[in-house]
Structure 1
């Protein structure tokens, strides 16, 4: 499941653009999920990214709460935690089509065309910034951000192979 502050119309437009195999929850004020999960950024009135994997017994199998909107977990720890549950594979869900909702893209929506330049800029800016950092802790933070951008670019290559331009 994915959740955001966006209304269902915007979520549906995102879903149709990116072909994500998840369902969405609209949580405009953070009261349904973000605040109970400790993932609400009060200053920006948005979710901080959080990945939560729940075991069949309701316990948390994995949880990573990002520090800010740019911070994302690496896939490997998430996948390892889910695989450790040894659950049977699920069929890919049918396309999400909430009744009475028409897609309405947000003006600030992240499109496939903007993905590569955005993450390339992060990747190369963080490479340069890492060289300027004098404090090893700061250098580590910048390098972590660089690795996240590189990982996103690599994953996007796979996504593009599965979703030719006419589907984007």
Structure 2
């Protein structure tokens, strides 16, 4: 797995260390190398990536692609994992990412302490709003967002159990 961002490598390294991410990052300031060619550039949000998941087979074929509308719209794990498992590949161990830069946290970075209140608010607000919707499509969209927030909260509970806060 490789993540891409318009942030410079030192900001990406700080994010990796904050969230204990085992992934490598590609830095694409300006979106020239990846975001724009993949149709994932979002100039309306300050020049950032739209969330995009692409799974590529060793021969270069795309076996999965989902371009989200915005940061609240993400694919479920199951279709992505099914596409990857269909390739029948063995997992590859990748050494930890150790770029030649010092971590430099960004003020925009989502911090673990903000995670629970943010997604709890989404969960409860979407639930309340879905009760007001008369259009079934709007209600379904809100309930999908609510389910995503619940999924993120459950995953964060697992993450917290694996990465307890440093209480020094």
TM-score category (smaller protein): over 0.9
For the residues of structure 2 that align with 1:98 and 1:132, how far apart are their CA atoms? 50
Q: Tell whether the 8 Å contact from 1:27 to 1:34 is kept in structure 2 after alignment.
A: yes
Give the 3-state SS of the residue equivalent to 1:24 in structure 2. Answer: strand
After the TM superposition, list the runs of 4 or more consecutive aligned residues in structure 1 that deviate by more than 4 angstroms.
none
TM-score under structure 2 length normalisation: 0.94
What's 1:43 paired with?
Answer: 44
Equivalent-residue separation in structure 1 for 2:106 and 2:116 (angstroms): 19
Structure 2: give runs of 5+ residues left out of the alignment. Answer: none
RMSD over aligned Cα, in angstroms?
Answer: 1.3
Gaps of 5+ in 1: none
SS at structure 1 position matched to 2:21: coil
- Kindly indicate whether the alpha-carbon contact (under 8 Å) linking 1:12 and 1:103 is maintained by their aligned counterparts in 2: yes
Name 1:84's counterpart in structure 2: 86
* Matched position secondary structure for 2:11: helix
What aligned pairs does 1:22-37 form with structure 2 within 5 A after superposition?
22-37=23-38
Determine the structure 2 residue equivalent to 1:151.
151
Q: How many residues align?
A: 165
2:67 to 65, 68, 78: 65
Q: Secondary structure at the match of 2:53?
A: strand
Q: Residue 141 of structure 2 corresponds to which residue in structure 1?
A: 141
1:38-81 deviation line (CA, Å, top 9, x unaligned): 11112111110000110111101111110112211111111111
TM-score norm. by structure 1 comes to: 0.94
CA contact (8 A) 1:48 1:67 kept: yes
